[in-house]
Every structure is written in C-alpha cells, then in structure tokens.
C-alpha cells in the first residue's frame, strides 16, 4: 500500500493571493497544489490529503490558541497517516514548531512544517520545492520529531529561527546541526534524530496572557516589568538578556523587581539576545546575580523555543517550582545542557 501524508494548511504566504491591500491569505490551495505536483509526475511521492483550517491566518496574527488547534487536528488524524506536513507562514513558524514539539513528544512519525517566501501563484516561487520535499520526508523517511523544512534544510523545529525576511534560505538552527540536507545526494543525519517513541501527547489549552517577553537594552526601565506583574495575569517572563545571560548588576531596582516577581511565584526564564552561544549565569558578576535571585537559565535555547516551552508548562497547570525544574531539562531536544562544539559547515 502506498504511503500517505496529511497536509494541514493553516495559512501563510504559500497560499496567499494579491489584493488591493497587498498579499492576503486565501482558500482553495489544494487545486493549485494538485496542478503543480501532477506536472512533476514523480511516482515516489506519497499520496496526500489536505485539510484547510476553518480560519486561515497570516502568521503575523498567530496566537497561542492556534497551537492548540493545530496540535488537536494532528492528534485526531495521527493513526490514519504515515506523516504530516503543516503549511504555515514563515514569520512565526519557529514558534509553532517549538510549541508542537512540546505537545507531541516521543513521536513515531514525522511532522514537517514548511511554507514559502514567495506565494505559490507567483513565478519563481519557492513553494513547490519546499512542499514537494516536505511531503517526501514526511511520507518516505521517518524523522520522529517536529521539524522545519525550508530551502534544502531539514531542521529540528525547536532549534530553528527565521534569519531573513527576504532570502529564500529563511531558516537556520544556530546552535544545533541540520538534521538533513537536500543536496546530491539527499543526506539525513539520523544520529541526531530524537529516539522514536510511543506518542506522548499533551495538548493543553494555552492562555494568551500568561507569558510576557522583555528584551533588555541600555536604559531599560524596570517599571515595565513591575507594570506587567502588577496589572496582568502574568505567570512567566522570558528575559532576553545581554551576551552570556547578563543584566545590569548596578540596576538595583531591576534586580529587586525581578526578585519580587519570583517571590510571587512568577517564573523568570533567561535567554540570550545572541543567536549563537548560550547563557552561562556564573561567568560574570552581572549574570551571577540572576542565579542568586532564582532566575532560570535557558542555556542555548532560541527565543521562540523558550517562550513556547514556558507557555506549555504553565498551560499544564504545574507549580512554579516544578516549572522551573522542567525548564532546566530537555523535553524534546530543545537545549543542550553540556554543549559540544558543532561545525555546521563540515558536518555532512
């Protein structure tokens, strides 16, 4: 029996059409996909069905509630297909890939997110190549995790980030090697795959208001944090700090407000503003102060992965203490606690 893949179309540039206000999401993508793939006449490609979400979104409009909806559709169809492709806008694709990786742990099939920088209806679009290869991976190769496939690169979803708004090679995983590369020949680095599991699904409903993200900068006002914790239902803060996880240790007001938040049971999770490298809160005095007040290190996680992990754990209604413990442990390959040095260029 020929293998079969489910394509879930959520919206994004790949299916957009031109309008008087610019590109907008549009329904009816399946007929366009069928037309393109029929012309390719590649009999090795798995069969596919396509589901369109009822409300398609420009991914700039993505909300945490959409992660729940996407995961629910995948889980409800899990045992009817050999793999899954999620068509998604590029702006927030790394957030969705990360969120799905926490909800869908221990997979025995591939979940591949892809999209395009140029709509499928346009000349020289990157849409068909991305879609064709994503279907091939999802149906013909078992990569048992949530991935992003884009422009020849197969990346772990929760290690990925969007690097360019204009180039076709839009995504990379700065602190982890690629899982695969579409070159001649196609290369899969299966030694890096997560272990195939027995489908541990935890799909909680997310609250939009539980987590805030604050990026530090010279002149940062600590009152921004104070306002967030005093006037909203915030339960977690992702702090984007300098370099290896540093803050101004001369800013006693900032330190006091962070400690006040932690004492209230608000989890503070520290990630670096740098794409490459990691947080090490014990190297500089301006970082070790965070250890003393109970800020959790995000190690080498991406901002997208850190935000969605904190969202996920809080949505599971865990205690602040247990959330902090889980933040320090890899749930789905999202962090390296002890970091080897990878040379991406020479890895394959």
10 labeled binding residue: no
Q: For this structure, is 231 an active site residue?
A: no
CA distance 123 to 163: 23
Nearest CA to 305 among 283, 331, 285?
A: 331
Burial of 219 (0-12, 13-18, 19+ CB in 10 A): exposed
Q: Measured between alpha carbons, how far is residue 2 from residues 18, 81, 99, 147, 180 in Å?
A: 37, 11, 30, 23, 24
Domains and CATH numbers, the chain: 4-201 (3.40.50.1170), 211-328 (3.40.50.40)
Choose, from 13, 92, 114, 161, the residue flagged as catalytic: 13
232 labeled binding residue: no
CA distance 116 to 285: 44
82 labeled binding residue: no
Helix (H, G, I), strand (E, B) or coil at 154: strand
Q: Enter the pTM of the model.
A: 0.94
CA distance 94 to 137: 18
Burial of 135 (0-12, 13-18, 19+ CB in 10 A): buried
pLDDT at residue 40, as a whole number: 82
pLDDT at residue 338, as a whole number: 64
Choose, from 10, 72, 90, 328, the residue flagged as catalytic: 90
pLDDT at residue 107, as a whole number: 97
**DSSP state, residue 62:** -
Q: For this structure, is 72 an active site residue?
A: no
pLDDT at residue 39, as a whole number: 82
For the chain, 348 residues long, give each residue's pLDDT as a single digit of tens: 789 999 999 999 999 999 999 999 999 899 999 999 988 878 889 999 999 999 999 999 999 999 999 999 999 999 999 999 999 999 999 999 999 999 999 999 999 999 999 999 999 999 999 999 999 999 999 999 999 999 999 999 999 999 999 999 999 999 999 999 998 788 999 999 999 999 999 999 998 879 999 999 999 999 888 888 887 789 999 999 999 999 999 999 999 999 999 999 999 999 999 999 999 998 998 989 999 999 999 999 999 999 999 999 999 999 999 999 999 999 999 999 864 444 443 333
Q: Are 144 and 195 in contact (CB under 8 A)?
A: yes
């Amino acid at each position: 029996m020929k293998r079969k893949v489910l394509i879930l179309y959520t919206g994004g540039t790949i299916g957009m059409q031109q309008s008087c206000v610019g590109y907008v999401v549009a329904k009816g993508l399946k007929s366009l996909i069928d037309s393109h793939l029929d012309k390719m006449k590649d009999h090795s490609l798995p069969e596919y069905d396509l589901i369109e979400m009822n409300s398609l979104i420009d991914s700039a409009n993505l909300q945490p509630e959409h992660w729940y909806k996407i995961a629910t559709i995948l889980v409800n169809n899990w045992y009817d297909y050999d793999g899954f492709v999620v068509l998604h806008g590029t702006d927030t694709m790394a957030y969705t890939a990360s969120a799905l990786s926490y909800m869908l742990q221990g997979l025995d099939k591939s979940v591949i997110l892809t999209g395009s920088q140029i709509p499928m209806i346009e000349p020289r679009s990157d849409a068909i190549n991305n879609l064709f290869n994503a279907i091939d991976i999802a149906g013909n190769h078992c990569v048992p995790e949530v991935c992003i496939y884009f422009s020849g690169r197969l990346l772990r979803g929760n290690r990925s980030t969007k690097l360019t708004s204009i180039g076709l090679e839009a995504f990379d995983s700065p602190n982890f090697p690629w899982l695969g590369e579409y070159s001649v020949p196609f290369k899969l680095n299966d030694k890096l795959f997560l272990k195939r599991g027995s489908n541990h699904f935890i799909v909680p409903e997310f609250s939009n208001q539980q987590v805030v993200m604050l990026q530090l900068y010279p002149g940062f006002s600590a009152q921004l944090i104070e306002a967030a914790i005093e006037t909203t239902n915030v339960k977690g803060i992702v702090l984007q700090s300098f370099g290896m996880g540093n803050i101004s240790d001369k800013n006693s007001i900032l330190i006091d407000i962070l400690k006040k938040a932690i004492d209230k049971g608000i989890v503070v999770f520290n990630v670096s503003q740098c794409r490459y490298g990691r947080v090490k809160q014990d190297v500089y005095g301006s970082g070790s102060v965070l250890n003393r007040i109970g800020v959790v290190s995000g190690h080498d996680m991406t901002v997208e992965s850190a935000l969605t992990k904190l969202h996920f754990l809080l949505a599971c209604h865990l205690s602040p203490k247990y959330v902090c413990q889980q933040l320090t442990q890899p749930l789905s390959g999202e962090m390296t606690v002890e970091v080897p040095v990878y040379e991406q260029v020479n890895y394959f």
